[in-house]
Structure 1
Amino acid sequence: MDEDYGVTGAHTEVELLVDLTVDELWAAITDLSRLGEWSPECPYAAWLDGWTAPQVGARYEARNRFPNGLVTHVLCVVTAADPPYAFGWDVYGGDPETHEPFATWRYNLRPAVRPDQTVVRQSFTHGPGDSGARAAVRADPANATAILQGRLDQLRRNMKTTIGAMVCDVGRVRTEPA
């Protein structure tokens, strides 16, 4: 096994059928000001440089909080913005001009059979950039496979939790009487 230990290209995703329209779910996943209410790992995100909505090249900052107490600050650059169907971004630990992304995230939305439902796929692919997962497997190469699988499993659980929280929150707002 080489020094990468299988980190680059490690991938996980979830696909869920949710009780929101494509437009409702798009509005939720692109509202960075609310992400911290829904995500168990990302308590903060905000657009940078005057951006207010996803467009390819737009940048935002995010903070991630891990169960061990570690807090990281990252820069995200939008790589896909096709309203209301695709939103994607790369995550950097430093300047995107000089660093490689350590993760690529993407949401793909498609209408379900029922017009008030959406099929959402959220995916994560680990990039070549330096990251906590990469540091963890380098520190314990004998357990690299288990460490990496544990992280991918954690990300998948977090994806389901985040999407579920969005649906509960937005769905609650949508169905409350006026």
Structure 2
Amino acid sequence: MNDYGVTGATTGVEVLIKLPIHEAWSGITAIERYGEWSPECIHGAWLEEGARFEARNRFPDGLETYVTCTVTVLEERKRFGWDVYGDETVPLAHWEYELEDRGTETLVRQSFTHGPGLSGMRIGVAQHPDRAADVIQGRLDQLAANMRTTLAAMQSALDTPS
């Protein structure tokens, strides 16, 4: 079966947020607060502290999905990442944050890489193979916009006057 470039499709953003690194770290590891900040993730909850969590997503067409995630990268105040699983044993995506201390600010690099598992992007490409590149790029652009929105909302929520 033709993959059309779905597996390994990647996007990311680099955002300088006005939070010191310890506050930025607290935000990106606060899985239970993602529903407050993300335009797509409406719920997150730890299943095993620091190891696994669940998430629910709602898409613009109203579709809701439930996934479980396994933390695969954990370097305190530096890197945090996880693999996303649907009903399969192979990940459908990998998300990762990388933080760089800039004193009162933190440079955040967030990335998404599509895995081999079944996802909406993969289904969309299978339904429209003649437009595979456009379907993939459209979803990657949407994810990058969502990353920026989430980071801005997180910064706003955590930026408390001293």
Please state which band the TM-score falls in when normalised by the shorter chain.
Answer: over 0.9
1:19 alignment partner AA: K
Aligned to 1:123: 111
1:122 alignment partner AA: Q
* Mapping of residues 1-178 of structure 1, within 5 Å: 3-48=2-47, 51-52=48-49, 54=50, 58-94=51-87, 99-112=89-102, 115-171=103-159, 174-175=160-161
Instruction: Quote the Cα distance in structure 2 between the aligned partners of 1:61 and 1:111.
Output: 29
Is there any run of 5+ residues in structure 1 with no aligned partner, and where?
none
Is there any run of 5+ residues in structure 2 with no aligned partner, and where?
none
Instruction: Quote the Cα distance in structure 1 between the aligned partners of 2:83 and 2:161.
Output: 34
Instruction: Quote the Cα distance in structure 1 between the aligned partners of 2:98 and 2:4.
Output: 29
2:37 alignment partner AA: W
**Residue 83 of structure 1, CA deviation:** 1.1
Tell me which protein shows more strand as a share of its residues: 2
Q: Secondary structure of the equivalent of 1:175?
A: coil
Q: Does the CA contact (< 8 Å) of 1:75 and 1:94 recur in 2? A: no
Instruction: Quote the Cα distance in structure 2 between the aligned partners of 1:60 and 1:160.
Output: 22
Q: Secondary structure of the equivalent of 1:43?
A: strand
Task: Tell me how large the CA RMSD over aligned residues is.
Answer: 1.1
Moved over 6 A (4+): none
1:17 alignment partner AA: L
**Residue 94 of structure 1, CA deviation:** 2.1
Percent identity of paired positions between Structure 1 and Structure 2: 52
Instruction: Quote the Cα distance in structure 2 between the aligned partners of 1:9 and 1:31.
Output: 26
2:161 alignment partner AA: T
2:68 alignment partner AA: L
- CA deviation profile, 1:98-142 (whole Å, cap 9, x unmatched): x21010000000112xx1000000000000111110011001100
- Bigger Cα Rg: 1
Aligned pair count reads 162
- CA deviation profile, 1:123-175 (whole Å, cap 9, x unmatched): 0000011111001100110011101100000000000000000001101xx21
TM-score of the superposed pair, with normalisation by structure 1: 0.88
Q: Does the CA contact (< 8 Å) of 1:21 and 1:116 recur in 2? A: yes
Instruction: Quote the Cα distance in structure 2 between the aligned partners of 1:133 and 1:30.
Output: 26
- CA deviation profile, 1:54-101 (whole Å, cap 9, x unmatched): 3xxx11100010000000000100001111111100000025xxx210
